Structure 1
Amino acid sequence: MIKQKYVDAYIKDFETGKVLFNEERKQLIRYLKEDILTRDDLFFDDKMIEDCINFGEKWYFPLQPFQKFLIAFIFLFHKKNKKAFYRKFLWMLGRGGGKNGLISVVTHFLISELHGINEYSISIVANSEDQAKTSFDEVFNAIEFNPDVLKKAFINQKAKIEGRKTKAILKFRTSNGNTKDGLRDGAVVFDEIHQYLTNQDVKVHISGLGKRKNPREFYIGTDGYIREGFLDKLKDKAQKVLTGEARPNSIFPFVCKLDNEDEVFDPKNWEMSNPMLSEPRSEYAEVLYDAILEEFEDLEEDPSNREEFMTKRMNLPVEDLERSVATWEEILATNRPFPDISKSSCIGSLDYASIRDFAACGLLFRHDEDYVFKTHSFARKRFVDIYYGYSKTDDVIKKEKFAPIKEWEQEGLLTVVDEPSINPMHIVNWFVEMRKQYGVNKIIADNYKMDILRPLFEAEGFEIEIIRNPRAIHGLLAPRIESAFANHQIIFDNNPLMRWYTNNVLVRIKKDGNKEYLKKDEVRRKTDGFQSFVHAMYRADEIINVDYSEALDFLNAIDF
């Protein structure tokens, strides 16, 4: 076994019950003991670890056991070539857990002569300049507060901090990848990673790594509200490492969170999401605990902050079922391949809220107990340019809550049209094409815009049913729809656009107790595809759940 005193001490704290771990950290310990600490080709650089810890405690603050544990794995090396074993580090903790403070210590140390690698420059990247400057400003202030010593070792400037002997530079950057090609960093820190929709900006910033010895990438933050974005993919990678499905050093995953929502009611469990709260607590941790406790107690008076509290403090994103049509896990469960629907009948539906932004068409099938929904959308180019950056170059990151319209278009999930308004014939022609493949003759839609569409559909031989008051049917359909999500009886195939539509739905409970489906955001968070699904569900019972292929084969075989 490889021995390292801070690693051994933290594992012992867990195994003796001194600290409480969530499932991901339990998995981390099993993975380390089985796959890493048993190796004889690796070693911890104890001197470097001690130097980093002493540096942090001298110029910053006393480091907690979990922080010393994390530092140790930054300096785990191959014996053969003293190459760093881990390049990527994922640190996810509840808000207030000391992520930025620790990264301040680590980045400051890495540009110092104690680290000993010349020109080991570091960029701290975040979506906003204020967030990107959080750790940078902490390093800057540490130098200003200790000028007699640290100003002799570092050139301290508002835009960059430079090691005098190493010529290594610490800078902050916003996540706009336009001008970041050609960087020659030794390490990059990505802060508040929940805000990254794709990996485009990340790729630009790490493209220069590898030109310095032992390149490293640090991904830090709490969880957020963007699903299927960069962070979700990073968490999937971390889970595969922990379960042995990925290369053991693909990433070092330190994920702290509650395992389930009910654990929040016992404050003793809060250290599962925030190891800073483990006993014995520092003075900082006591103040932090009191702040979290006050926020938790306020939820009794104002439960509307529950999602924020659970996501940011407990690092466990949850859906408020009075505000969302389904949990994210239930929405993800719609990602199943379509069954054979080639011989099945179906109901057509559409939502056409505005001819100037989006329109969504769909076909609803029944397959045993499942509702199968095949859909396609149309979007107006001017609208998606303004609100989603559709025409921006690929290397420009989309901001939080933006949607990857171009990616969905390339996957064939929607069509972007460059027109003053969406031509209704696009919708009609889609249903004409679908009729060639499936048994669709009836189309359900609400009253809006049907004065334009109805004669076009009828000219093509379709039967149209208009829902005069679509919100009135929401309360009627809500139990069926929410039960279908809960029991995983809805199939969208692999359709991230449809999952996005569904996740954008706001469920409002009216005074009479009935529910209606609205939008969480009136402009950017579109729900057209989901509303089309609701319209189809209004006549789901009319769909005959029968495969006619055997009967047709029998009839074809008869010689009349």
Structure 2
Amino acid sequence: MAESLVETPVTQRAFDWVDGILSGRIPACKRIRQACERFRRDLTRAGTDQFPYVFDAEASEHMCAFMETLPHIEGAWAARGDTLELLGWQAFLIGQIGGWRHMLSGLRRFRTAYVEVPRKNGKSTLLAGVGLYFLGADGEPGAKVYSAAASTHQARIVFDAARVMALTGEFDGTGLDELLGLTVEEHKIKTPDPAAVFQPIASQTKSKDGKNPHCAIVDELHEHDKRDVWDSMASALGAREHPLLIAITTAGYNTGGICFEQRKYVQSLLEGTRENDRYLGLIFEADEGDEPGDPATWEKANPSLNAAKSIEYMQDEWEKATASPAAMGEFLRKHLDIWTSVGAAALDMEAWRASEDATLRLSDFAGRKGYLGVDLATRHDPASVTLVIPDEGDPGKGPLRVFSWHFLPEKVVDAPGNEHLWGWKKDGFVHTTPGAELDLRIVEALVLQLAGLGDGSWGWGDLPALDIEMVIYDALFASQMAAAWEAAGLTAVELRSRASNLNEPFNKLIAAVEDRRLINDGNPVLTWMAGNTLLKQVQGGDYIYPAKLVPEDKIDGIVALINALWPLIQVAEDTGAQDRRNSFFMSLGA
């Protein structure tokens, strides 16, 4: 490998960067060290039966060298007529995409690449170059390249950068468009191959389906509230021999979206808990516990610091961040790649995610005391059921285990734009009934089954029975269902969704999350709803209640969870069972 790298200087730059990261000479976060360690491990096992890929330095250099012929299009570099010079991290990314090949077929190893890197690190310029390479220099017949984003404006950022590069770039006095035979139009870049094209597409563009991409570029994936663009591009890759789906994004706040889903997947690959040799992932971020105002932290999270991004710029941004909580959240997301909640967020999502435990099994709690919270809907909003299992030794202050179930009509889940719901349905996190209106009997049966009073209908037969002390529900849609629960012997309590009723259990939820005592089973639907939950205060009063920013941000599962927590704030330490039950009902009239 060392001999082959003598004539591949940009690829050697990538190897030197890896050496610098792993030796500690270059500051780096945990995730980047893991990515470099993964690369080193892959080199040691390359070309084996278990790992049939080899690193082709010449193929790596071909893509890297092409990138370095492209012109800068903005700022002082463009004014001087400079071409791109890949930094170590950029050479590492591009070299891995271009260099790893199957040892027999010669086809590229990586089909998907996910990169998180803070703002102003040159990501859009890099993506534009990747798009031009796959369009004209990769040798793919009928190459189709798409710059895909949540909006037309965002999709055009990468496309327009590629367009300007194609129009202004040159090599040895010959224009790049002439060298590659490009026809540069306002909305398309074409090649002499009539089937090849580079164009932008957006989430709202119906024509995003039916594509056959050789390269799909997704810019700022965190801005995608829905998963339609990512899923449509990913599913369309199958017709190509070695396509690429690549996303480069900053951090966001929607921890229930497609971006955070991919981030968690990359984390699992880097940690070694999952294996996928076709997926490349890089996450540049501040590590937990790092001081956000420390320039050493800035250097770890921003690999282009002192190049594309100046230290003076970071100092100015930090000064702005210290002026207000909103500005601080923006700084953490955009400059340190830290996922934060938006607006007057109610729940500490870092603490929430740290308290996820996917190994929780409901069967391990059979017979345990529990409380059920129910929030019902029949059309567009989800119906949700949450189960809270308090600690046996200390119900008030010990760990609270939480399980949840979420329901929607099948027609809503299958509607265009609700691909995230469809994905959760496929994975068993959203349950549906046929038609446009939810059949609430599925919820009624679930509650009875959890209380040991069911008949196994609606597919709930495998659920264990618990000692359900109480079912707490909002009155809307629930009167007939509550009567059925009462008739079966359950204590069902109506808790109207008003601030005076929700204030105390909502505060308990917030405190339990911050103390990391609320252990949830990792249900992504409930996590999404937790991230959507804002804290509102009654005007002129001290009561708080949960709210959402926009109608699409569902919080029904959190409302159900607040309902389930309500009995725990009613329990008086010195009362017996009957007094405790009486206090429940007396408090409703307060």
Q: TM-score, normalised by structure 1?
A: 0.77
Q: Give the CA deviation at 1:105.
A: 1.7
Q: 1:351 to 1:185 in 2, by over 3 A?
A: closer
Partner of 2:400: 371
Partner of 1:127: 150
Partner of 1:499: 527
For structure 1, which runs of at least 5 residues remain unmatched after alignment?
545-560
Q: Give the CA deviation at 1:164.
A: 3.4
Partner of 2:90: 67
- Which residue of 142, 158, 166 corresponds with 1:143? 166
Structure 2 matches for 1:486-525, cutoff 5 A?
486=514, 488-493=516-521, 495-508=523-536, 516-521=544-549, 523-525=551-553
Partner of 1:104: 128
Q: Give the CA deviation at 1:135.
A: 1.6
Q: Are 2:534 and 2:548, in contact at CA under 8 Å, matched by a contact in 1?
A: yes
Q: Give the CA deviation at 1:237.
A: 3.6
Q: What's the RMSD between the two structures over aligned residues?
A: 4.2
Structure 2 matches for 1:109-508, cutoff 5 A?
109-112=133-136, 114-145=137-168, 149-152=175-178, 153-164=181-192, 168-175=196-203, 179-180=207-208, 183-196=211-224, 201-209=229-237, 214-247=242-275, 249-260=277-288, 262-277=290-305, 281-282=306-307, 284-286=308-310, 289-319=311-341, 323-331=345-353, 333=356, 335=358, 336-351=360-375, 357=381, 359-368=383-392, 369-373=398-402, 375-376=404-405, 390-392=413-415, 396-398=416-418, 404=421, 407-408=424-425, 411=428, 413-414=430-431, 431=447, 434-435=450-451, 436=453, 437-440=465-468, 442-445=470-473, 463=491, 465=493, 470-472=498-500, 474=502, 476-477=504-505, 480-486=508-514, 488-493=516-521, 495-508=523-536
Q: 1:299 to 1:128 in 2, by over 3 A?
A: same
Greater alpha carbon shift after TM alignment, 354-363 vs 522-531: 354-363
CA distance in 1, matches of 2:19, 2:385: 58
Query: For residues 373-413 of structure 1, what are the alpha-carbon distances to aligned partners after superposition, in whole Å with 9 as ceiling and x for unaligned?
Result: 4555565x5xx97xxx5342xxx4448xxx61684498375
1:85 matches 2:109: yes
Q: Give the CA deviation at 1:101.
A: 0.2
Q: 1:89 to 1:37 in 2, by over 3 A?
A: farther
Q: 3-state DSSP class of the match of 1:254?
A: strand
Q: 3-state DSSP class of the match of 2:175?
A: helix
CA distance in 1, matches of 2:282, 2:55: 20
Q: TM-score, normalised by structure 2?
A: 0.74
Q: How many residue pairs were aligned?
A: 524
Give the percent of matched residue pairs that are identical in Structure 1 and Structure 2.
18
Q: Are 2:403 and 2:520, in contact at CA under 8 Å, matched by a contact in 1?
A: yes
For structure 2, which runs of at least 5 residues remain unmatched after alignment?
6-10, 48-53, 72-80, 393-397, 454-464, 574-590
1:43 matches 2:56: yes
Q: 3-state DSSP class of the match of 1:263?
A: coil
Greater alpha carbon shift after TM alignment, 441-450 vs 527-536: 441-450
Q: Give the CA deviation at 1:213.
A: 5.5
CA distance in 1, matches of 2:550, 2:238: 45
CA distance in 2, matches of 1:527, 1:271: 37
Q: 3-state DSSP class of the match of 1:123?
A: strand
Q: 1:141 to 1:340 in 2, by over 3 A?
A: closer
Query: For residues 530-551 of structure 1, what are the alpha-carbon distances to aligned partners after superposition, in whole Å with 9 as ceiling and x for unaligned?
Result: 223223323237599xxxxxxx
Q: Are 1:56 and 1:62, in contact at CA under 8 Å, matched by a contact in 2?
A: no
Q: Are 1:192 and 1:221, in contact at CA under 8 Å, matched by a contact in 2?
A: yes
Query: For residues 71-114 of structure 1, what are the alpha-carbon distances to aligned partners after superposition, in whole Å with 9 as ceiling and x for unaligned?
Result: 222321345443323332222211121111011122223333x5
Q: Give the CA deviation at 1:256.
A: 0.8
Partner of 1:558: none
Q: 1:328 to 1:513 in 2, by over 3 A?
A: farther
Structure 2 residue identity aligned to 1:136 = F
